[in-house]
Each structure stands twice: as structure tokens, then as C-alpha cells.
């Protein structure tokens, strides 16, 4: 079916409707399989959630610092590696190679049997793993536990906006001709290989949040031999099935995605919400304590409402790092799997030659049965992006499900996985226990370099 291209006023209206979403969206191998309870008790008095302290150790300046600057500031070793993909993209890969005395704790070098590689969510970067600071953020907790921590950055983000031949600012836009399919097939593959080559390890642990999980399933579907390079997969709010999402802003975007994408593509706008220097100062004004409600409400609609776990200073720091950039095709691909309820490859829009467009036939499905790595799934009952039923559907379909963890706070949202006051206690402590079991069974890395 052919569609007419929207007029300029219609295009502007669509952008106005969708912009808030783009600004705010982004979050024991056992036999038999183990599931935590997934009952959603509507009686709030039944659950008593332990109070967690605010982020008193963080500073507003953290919104302006890069990830390497943040890691060094808080007393940890940081290495910057540049990794080239098969199709010419140049990606920043950051390594937390231990803890310095400046952290306020004794220096510590990695001593675990295998390294861990972490991959971030949509429109974000590896800042996902460090923004909450030492003692809370997963990247630091892993380093404190003796892990060799590697954090990837997907193509098109602020830290991986580079290519051997294509200019990301060029009008032609060849740089931006990718979706999360290419991130999985090329980026994740190159980053995993680099970590293994740099450390001498035969296999590694994999941790992903949201998009960071789906890109590994893409890789394992297309290149199933990579399961042999992985010890386990820690799948935090995995965005494979998303058709039950609840956010009104995201739903609006999904409904309008095809005409919006056609309009932006025709205008040469193929980069979506890059990280700009003016964002952090603007957020400091817009989300100041006196009127932070606006920023909170946007977050609640997209990710879910859990006011007790939102720290306003932490929110401002986060919005200094998010959005970090993505491609137009990347978001369009997300809209397709949400609308169709199919974990499938990208279906590009086709021009009718008369200023309109039509959708392509349905694309092939990814084959989840090829992902034979042990998978541990973590989900929240109040996640507006990855509904808990979507997470459990994935858990039912992977061939080697090791465990499923429902976060104990029944109000836990998508953004809470990386921003909540209680995430270290309710998520990261459990994840560390899971990793500890797998690492004790893993062969010792030949050497950390």
C-alpha cells in the first residue's frame, strides 16, 4: 500500500509529538530452569521496599564529563581502545583496568578468571555503567569485585562517531545507513574479539542493557559460533520483544514512524539526537529543583513511574549524557518490531517515485535457538519499555535459559536499572552473585595486559 509524503506543517507536528520520546527514551545456571515470582500484587501495602540513601557523593559537574574523565575522577584505571569493524566504523572501547588509591579504597587489579564486556542501551553510551558512581554503578562494582571490565560504544554514539571513509556530518548520510542489526553483526563481534585478543582469554562474560541485549541475539542468530566465545549472558531488561510497551509517547512514535522516517530521510536528517555541548547546561536550567517535575514526567511516561527511586541530581547528570546519538534507521527498526511483535530484520521503506513511500514485505525473523549461551534475564514489573510479559516471552524461547530474576521492587522501571537509588541492592548485587558462579567455573585468563 502506497502512502503520501507529509506536508511540511505535518512533518513539524510529527517532530513536535515525537521529540519528547527521543529525548527521554533510551533502560545459577540451574536445572531445572528457575523463575522468581512474577505476581503483580496491586495492594501496595503488601510490599515494603527498603529505603536507599540519595546520591550524595555525585556532583553536578559529572553531567559535563566524558566517561573516561568520570572513571578517572572516581579513582579507577581507564584505558581507551579504538576498534575497527569489518565495514569501517571506528568504535571507542573503554576498559576499567582496576582501582587506584585515589578511589579511597586499596588499589586493586583485575584477578577474576575471565573479563566482562558490557553493552549499552538505545540512544545511550557506556555511561549507562558508571553514572551512578562508585558503590552503585555496575561498572565500578564489577571492578571492585576483581573483574576486568570492558565497556563498548555502538556506532553513531558520541564516542563512536567515526568511520574510515564516511563523514558523519556529510549531507549524503552514508555513515548513518545502519540499524541495530549492523551494531550486532559488526560492532559487537569486533568488540568481543578485541577484548579476547587483548586479554588472552578464550571466553568472556557478556552484560547488556535493553538494546545491548538484542544486539547480541542478532550476532548469535547470524554468527552462532560466537556462543563458544561467551561464558554467560546477563540480559538486563532485554529488548527483543517490545510490543506490550506502555509509554504513550513511544506509542505515538511507533504509530507515526513510517511517515516521520520518510520525511526525515527525504530531508537528509539521518542522525537522531546527537550529544551536544549545550544539552547539559540546558538540562541544568530546565530540570532545576524548582521545575524538575517536567523532566520527571517525561521519564515516567517513557520508562515507568517510580518517584521514590528518582534522584533529581542523578537525573540531571544522566540527561547530560543522554541522548548520545543514534541513526534514524535504528529507531525505525525498533518501531517495526514493536508494531509487528516480530524480532525480525529491518524492512526499509520504498519510494513510490511520486513523493510517497510504501513498506517492504516482512523481513526474516532472527533465530533465537542459535543463541546457546546460558542466559540470565532480569526484569521489572513496572517497566514501560520492556513489559515483564515480553521479558518472560524471551525467557521461554531462548534454548539455554539459566535463571530469571524479577526485581523485588514491584514499581521498578526501565530507567531504574541504571539510575535508581535501589538498583545496586536489588539488581547489581544479584547480578554479581550470578557472575561469581559462572566465573568460578571459567578457565583462568592467560594474562591481563
pLDDT digits (tens, 9 = 90+) for 129-170: 999 999 999 999 999 999 999 999 999 999 999 999 999 999
Respond yes or no: is residue 383 known to be catalytic: yes
271 bridge partner residues: 327
Q: What is the pTM of this model?
A: 0.89
Query: What is the chain's mean pLDDT, rounded?
Result: 89
Phi-psi category of 94—alpha, beta or left, where left has phi over 0 and alpha has psi -120 to 50? beta
Percent of the chain with pLDDT over 90: 77
Measuring CA to CA, which residue among 432, 423, 404 is closest to residue 50? 423
What value does the mean pLDDT take over residues 426-430? 98
Whether the pLDDT of residue 291 is over 90: the answer is no
**The pLDDT value given to residue 140:** 97
Whether the pLDDT of residue 252 is over 50: the answer is yes
81 bridge partner residues: 93
Measuring CA to CA, which residue among 5, 26, 7, 8 is closest to residue 249? 26
Asked if residue 301 lies in contact with residue 294, where contact means CB atoms within 8 angstroms, the answer is no
What value does the mean pLDDT take over residues 203-230? 98
Distance (Å) of CA 196 to CA 17, 115, 216? 44, 8, 16
Domains of the chain: 66-441 (3.40.50.1820)
Helices then strands, each counted (H, E), the chain: 15, 14
Active-site residue (options: 205, 384, 414, 415): 414
Model pLDDT for residues 302-345, shown as the tens digit of each residue: 999 999 999 999 999 999 999 999 999 999 999 999 999 999 99
What value does the mean pLDDT take over residues 361-385? 97
Active-site residue (options: 128, 258, 383, 409): 383
Separation between Cα atoms, residue 343 and residue 366, nearest integer Å: 6
Measuring CA to CA, which residue among 69, 175, 180 is closest to residue 122? 180
**The pLDDT value given to residue 288:** 86
What value does the mean pLDDT take over residues 390-401? 98
Return the minimum-mean-pLDDT range out of 16-20, 26-30, 247-251.
Answer: 26-30
270 bridge partner residues: none
> Could you give the count of Cα atoms lying within 13 Å of 215 in the half-sphere of its Cβ?
32
Active-site residue (options: 179, 210, 237, 335): 210
Separation between Cα atoms, residue 394 and residue 4, nearest integer Å: 36
Separation between Cα atoms, residue 62 and residue 152, nearest integer Å: 20
Residue with cell 530521510: 265
Whether the pLDDT of residue 278 is over 90: the answer is no
Amino acid at each position: 500500500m502506497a502512502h503520501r509524503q507529509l506536508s511540511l506543517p505535518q512533518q513539524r507536528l510529527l517532530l513536535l509529538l515525537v521529540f519528547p520520546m527521543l529525548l527521554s527514551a533510551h533502560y545459577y545456571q540451574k536445572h531445572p530452569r528457575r523463575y522468581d515470582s512474577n505476581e503483580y500484587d496491586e495492594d501496595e501495602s503488601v510490599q515494603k521496599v527498603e529505603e536507599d540513601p540519595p546520591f550524595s557523593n555525585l556532583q553536578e559537574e559529572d553531567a559535563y564529563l566524558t566517561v573516561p574523565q568520570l572513571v578517572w575522577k572516581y579513582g579507577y584505571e581507564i584505558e581507551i581502545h579504538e576498534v575497527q569493524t569489518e565495514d569501517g566504523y571506528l568504535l571507542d572501547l573503554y576498559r576499567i583496568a582496576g582501582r587506584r588509591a585515589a578511589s579511597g579504597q586499596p588499589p586493586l587489579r583485575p584477578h577474576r578468571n575471565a573479563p566482562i564486556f558490557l553493552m549499552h542501551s538505545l540512544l545511550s553510551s557506556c555511561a549507562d555503567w558508571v553514572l551512578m558512581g562508585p558503590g552503585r554503578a555496575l561498572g565500578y562494582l564489577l571492578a571492585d569485585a576483581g573483574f576486568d571490565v570492558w565497556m563498548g560504544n555502538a556506532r553513531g554514539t558520541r564516542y563512536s562517531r567515526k568511520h574510515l571513509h564516511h563523514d558523519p556530518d556529510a549531507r549524503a548520510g552514508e555513515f548513518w545507513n545502519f540499524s541495530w542489526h549492523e551494531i550486532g553483526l559488526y560492532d559487537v563481534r569486533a568488540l568481543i574479539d578485541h577484548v579476547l585478543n587483548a586479554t588472552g582469554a578464550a571466553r568472556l562474560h557478556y552484560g547488556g542493557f535493553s538494546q545491548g541485549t538484542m544486539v547480541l541475539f542478532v550476532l548469535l542468530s547470524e554468527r552462532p559460533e560466537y556462543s563458544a566465545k561467551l561464558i554467560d549472558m546477563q540480559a538486563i531488561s532485554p529488548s527483543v520483544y517490545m510490543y506490550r510497551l506502555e509509554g504513550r509517547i513511544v506509542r505515538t512514535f511507533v504509530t507515526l514512524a513510517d511517515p516521520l522516517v520518510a520525511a526525515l530521510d527525504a530531508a537528509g536528517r539521518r542522525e537522531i539526537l546527537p550529544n551536544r555541548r549545550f544539552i547539559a547546561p540546558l538540562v541544568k536550567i530546565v530540570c532545576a529543583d524548582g521545575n524538575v517535575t517536567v523532566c520527571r514526567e517525561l521519564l515516567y511516561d517513557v520508562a515507568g513511574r517510580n518517584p521514590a527511586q528518582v534522584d533529581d541530581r542523578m537525573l540531571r547528570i544522566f540527561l547530560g549524557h543522554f541522548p548520545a546519538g543514534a541513526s534514524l534507521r535504528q529507531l525505525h527498526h525498533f518501531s517495526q518490531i514493536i508494531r509487528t511483535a516480530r524480532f525480525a530484520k529491518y524492512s526499509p521503506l520504498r519510494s513510490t517515485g511520486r513523493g510517497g513511500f510504501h513498506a517492504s514485505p516482512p523481513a526474516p525473523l532472527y533465530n533465537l535457538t542459535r543463541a546457546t549461551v546460558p542466559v540470565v534475564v532480569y526484569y521489572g514489573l513496572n517497566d514501560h519499555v520492556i513489559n515483564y510479559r515480553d521479558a518472560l516471552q524471551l525467557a521461554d524461547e531462548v534454548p539455554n535459559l539459566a535463571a530469571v530474576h524479577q526485581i523485588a521492587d514491584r514499581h521498578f522501571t526501565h530507567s531504574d536499572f541504571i539510575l535508581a537509588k535501589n538498583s545496586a541492592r536489588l539488581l547489581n548485587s544479584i547480578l554479581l552473585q550470578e557472575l561469581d558462579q559462572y566465573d568460578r567455573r571459567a578457565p583462568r585468563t592467560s594474562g591481563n595486559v
